[in-house]
Amino acid sequence: QLQASGGGLVQAGVSLGLSCAASGVTFSSYDMGWFRQAPGKEREFVAAILGSGYRPLYAESVKGRFTISRDNAKNTVYLRMVSLKPGDTAVYYCAARSTSGFWNWSVSTDPKNWRYWGQGTLVTVSS
């Protein structure tokens, strides 16, 4: 089970952090990802991190502004977002899949290849 939290209404340019706590799994055995879905749009990849905590992967649209990290001792994955833009407004979902140890961009960024999903947390960025 995945429980995301930390969303809210913020102004453009500020920072916000999301958390996703996992339960009932051996957390380090799972790659963790963040996806987002804006109104009227398809769910899109944001960032992911291997079960080991190495090799974070980012969408180009957030690279340099978002940082994904994880604490395997706390069964939690984080998404630190800085310099937020109105275009970042979306429901953010955390996701998990059994760790593969490597990334394949087309496979790893496709929501269909992630097995477990949290309930989503809304981030609204006003201009």
CB 25 within 8 A of CB 44: no
Residue identified by tokens 């929501």 is 111
User: What's the pLDDT at 100?
Assistant: 82
Q: pLDDT tens digits, residue range 35-69?
A: 999 999 999 999 999 999 988 999 999 999 999 99
Helix (H) or strand (E) holding 106: helix 105-108
* Rounded CA separation 62/41 (Å): 17
Task: Give all strands (DSSP E) within the chain, no chain letters.
Answer: 2-5, 8-11, 16-22, 30-37, 44-49, 57-58, 66-71, 76-81, 90-98, 116-117, 121-126
